[in-house]
Chain A
């Protein structure tokens, strides 16, 4: 499985990377701008990501902007349904309005930090990623 992780905080990034490594190859970016670039690059190489984990509070572009950009780029290219990349928002923001907007923009999972690893794994298997 090919994973992209966008996370600006060093400690979280280190933890997430270690955690995700066991599921597959994990690329890491430190801001939202890079994340969009990485997504596009992978698309062009025809090796798209299977899973993208996005922090929300990030420099350059925030998680919402990245999410929106990815979904519209997919739409433009006719990528639909199961072919769409699974996006997990990983963030400490837990207010209902934050979650709702993320769902409206088309994220697959909204995961609050600190991450509940057991549930995280459950979700991955539900999404048939593992």
Chain B
């Protein structure tokens, strides 16, 4: 849809507006669902929405949509004047949502180029009997039935263009053999041959028939054609190659915009051009509207020469002033990549070994370098902020899910949303939508107990799910919390045993969090009964996989009887981090600066060796797990150094600490995170790699992995 947006065709506008209205409708309904009845404002609003959709779908001749919206409009027409007491509110809410779903479904079909062929008769019949019921209610209450809602048949109609294969555009250049006579006439013959296949055709030079000299030009520069056709490239090529005298046919894909431009200025436009959405002040807006308004007489064809496009009276001027524009995501990604490369290039310049020559006078260089570094980091920030999108829309979807699923399961659940204005990278939004939906469903289905269960546990009748988002320390936290029964540790443990996910360790040797993690393993589901929404044992593993794709983690916590909490932690930026580069043995490593608590020099006495080979280190009376990074990754250099020569980095991840010994610290700098190439096996504890200024490769440490990894090494 976004790509088609700049067309602003009638159909697009219809779809766009209807979708907006339906979203609006859904919001109102969900807001009112817990009330005892719709209030006046919401009734008017729903009436208006249905009225508009009825009208516009009538013009577009989508009759089923018209009928359905008309029916619902009728219902609210009667409610508007007299609201009888006998209206089952929940039923009504369901009907409105059903109608909204039906229409969205049909719109979706239209969008994909199909026909809206869904059967509406059952829905209409249901609402019809509902309407009769309301009418009796009105009569019973002693009020007069308002006059029939007058339904005006649409008197104007719109027929969208016949669906069919999309037209293709080609930019063709014909080159003739050097000694060809009368190139112009041969060129015209080629044009004539093409005409049968062409929907539109422009060529240059234009005066090939009247001007004999044009033959010379064609010989020199080639004969250029812009072609709009339904035929494919090969077909066009074979037609042209058959023409006499043609030496070479060069066919390139082109676009409608280029076709519109013709050969007038020979600018090859990049295709999805930015679209102006809004203008910043009223005046400019008016000016733009005026410039863009269609008035009779604008489309008088002034002249149409052979081979030229139609010239119309009005010259369209470009919009004057733009405050917003939409840009294709692809370009944003490109920009991001380029900035990443620039950060590397910058480091390559600033850290260049040539500068290390002793005795160089570098103060001017350093000044300029400082300026450059500032600009690059600003550029990075701005680009990042351009990609930020609020979570609001994603969270709003969850509202509907809670409503639907809880009604089906006969549970009474309220969804509380906190921090929906938190902004995250667009990339992240795309990746978390599905996992989040899954987590919410899980909470509704497994988390919150059924009505009897809650009563027995002495909890309030209404279950509560909290969806929270916040930004903290360069990470986005998205938390799904419910006040349900919580996770059953024993059950999960025994199930994990049964599935062979656990070695011989007993339940007490695992921390609660570790046990909860088992539910994220493939094929794991403790729910005995499979419901429509969850319990099939696919899910949590997919959730985790999706989250891992964006370098995030899922953490599960639960208090039996009081509820559970799922926390998604996702790094705010995927591409560039601020990191500390260090050397350990023969390898270079990077750790995110924000994870580092301190650097300390230690000596052998501070080490504690456990009998099982694990090492701990005592720093100021506190005991931390200890690891020699070079040893861990088998990168020991030949001369073995003592612990006194190295530096210990105390790192903190999510309340857990770990100490890592490295040989020396190299630098603190911006690090462009690159994935470890596919052909290299995934190594635990490493999340990516990067290229440093001098061209060497450093490995980026992944703390949670590093902490887990210890067991395996042992």
Q: List residues of chain A with CB under 8 Å of any chain B CB.
A: 8, 32, 56-65, 67-68, 92-101, 103, 105, 107-117, 119-120, 122-123, 126
Contact = CB atoms under 8 A, between A and B. Distances in A.
Contacts of B159: 109-112, 115-116, 119-120, 123
A63 B300 CA distance: 8
A129 B401 CA distance: 48
Interface string B141-185: 000000000000001111111111000000000000000000000
Interface string B672-691: 00000000000000000000
Contact of B296 (A65, A110, A111, A116): A65
A58 B155 contact: no
Given A59-B300, A117-B162, A95 B7 contact: yes
Interface string B294-332: 111111111010000010110000000000000000000
Given A96-B10, A109-B157, A114 B164 contact: yes
Given A96-B13, A101-B294, A56 B61 contact: no
Given A95-B10, A114-B164, A57 B299 contact: yes
A93 to B, nearest CB: 8
B312 A57 contact: yes
A109 B13 contact: no
Name which of A94, A98, A120 has the most chain B CB atoms within 10 A of its CB: A94
Size band of the B side of the interface?
20 to 34
Contacts of A58: 299-301
Contact of B157 (A108, A114, A117): A108
B292 interface: yes
A62 B161 contact: no
A79 to B, nearest CB: 16
27 contacts: A57-B301, A58-B299, A58-B301, A62-B300, A62-B313, A64-B295, A64-B297, A64-B299, A92-B161, A93-B299, A94-B161, A96-B10, A96-B13, A97-B293, A98-B10, A99-B10, A101-B293, A101-B294, A108-B155, A108-B156, A109-B159, A110-B159, A115-B161, A115-B162, A116-B161, A119-B160, A126-B61
A118 to B, nearest CB: 8
Contacts of B310: 57
Nearest to B59: A103
B61 A114 contact: no
Given A96-B10, A123-B61, A110 B157 contact: yes
Nearest to A101: B294
A126 B9 contact: no
A126 B159 CA distance: 13
Interface string B6-50: 011111110000000000000000000000000000000000000
A59 B297 CA distance: 10
Contacts of A63: 299
Given A96-B10, A107-B156, A112-B159, A122 B61 contact: yes
A123 B157 CA distance: 8
A64 B293 CA distance: 13
Given A61-B300, A115-B161, 17 more contacts: A57-B299, A59-B300, A59-B301, A62-B299, A62-B300, A65-B297, A94-B161, A95-B7, A95-B9, A97-B292, A100-B294, A107-B156, A108-B155, A108-B156, A112-B159, A112-B160, A116-B161
B163 A110 contact: no
Given A64-B295, A109-B157, A116 B301 contact: no
Given A109-B158, A114-B162, A67 B7 contact: no
Nearest to B162: A116
B115 to A, nearest CB: 10
Contacts of A111: 158-159
Contacts, number: 113
Nearest to B300: A62
A114 B304 CA distance: 21
Contacts of B161: 92, 94, 112-116
A126 B295 contact: no
Nearest to B303: A59
Nearest to B164: A114
Closest 7 CB pairs of A and B: A64-B296, A62-B299, A112-B161, A116-B162, A111-B159, A96-B13, A101-B294
Contacts of A97: 8, 292-294
A115 B160 CA distance: 8
B162 to A, nearest CB: 4
Contact of A68 (B162, B292, B296): B296
A15 B302 CA distance: 24
A98 B302 CA distance: 19
Contacts of A96: 8-10, 12-13
Contacts of B163: 116
Contacts of A65: 296-297, 300
Interface string B231-247: 00000000000000000
A62 B297 contact: yes
Name which of B160, B162, B304 has the most chain A CB atoms within 10 A of its CB: B162
Contacts of A61: 297, 300
A116 B60 CA distance: 13
Contacts of B11: 94
A72 to B, nearest CB: 11
A99 B301 contact: no
A108 B312 CA distance: 24
Contacts of B10: 94-96, 98-99, 110, 112
A126 B66 CA distance: 15
B301 A94 contact: no
Contacts of B12: 96
Interface string B271-303: 000000000000000000000111111111110
Contact of A98 (B155, B164, B294): B294
Contacts of B300: 32, 58-62, 65
B178 to A, nearest CB: 36
B299 A56 contact: yes
A65 B296 CA distance: 5
A62 B61 CA distance: 26
A110 B293 CA distance: 18
Nearest to B302: A59
A46 to B, nearest CB: 25
Contacts of A56: 299
Contacts of A123: 61, 157, 159
Nearest to A63: B299
A30 to B, nearest CB: 11
A105 B293 CA distance: 14
B152 to A, nearest CB: 13
Contacts of A68: 296
B8 to A, nearest CB: 5
Contacts of B7: 94-95
Contact of A8 (B156, B157, B301): B301
Name which of B7, B160, B297, B300 has the most chain A CB atoms within 10 A of its CB: B300
A113 B298 CA distance: 19
